Amino acid sequence: MIDKGKRSRAEIVDAILDAKHDLGKYIRMPIAMLPAGAPDPAVREALIQALQRTRTGPRGSRSARSIWDAFSAEVAEALGEEPAFAALAEAVARALAWEDRAAAAAPIDRSSVEADFTAVGARIQELLNEVSRA
């Protein structure tokens, strides 16, 4: 059940739409834009860009973690008990776990990165659908 608390439904939906754009879209873009068969150094650099410089604009860059932390703080009171929010939190945790792997010397499994990053956008959309129905 959504406990809107001090936030209106419109404010919650706006926050989710911002997350969909700033996190769901931009976290996967650097990897998705790579050509097929890109070498591991290019995949690693795209991974680092996706996580550390997720959303770049006139006011600078924001990391995926900072976008998630701000979004989560904004909506946690209203959505913290929602299964769709929990599923999103799990997807974001899997995506952010790639930070450690990007720093390691082991090759990056691009298809796994793409799957984890795509899941973030999908879970944001599911949360948006759930909030819109409620």
Distance in angstroms (rounded) separating the CA atoms of residues 48 and 27 = 10
Domains of the chain with CATH codes: 9-133 (1.20.120)
Confidence category of residue 2, pLDDT binned at 50, 70, 90:
low
pLDDT, one tens digit per residue, over 15-26 is: 999 999 999 999
Span 95-125, pLDDT tens digits: 999 999 888 888 899 999 999 999 999 999 9
In angstroms, the CA 72 to CA 18 distance is: 12
| pLDDT at site 12 | 94
Check residue 1 and give its pLDDT: 45
| Highest mean pLDDT: which range of 6-10, 43-47, 130-134 | 43-47
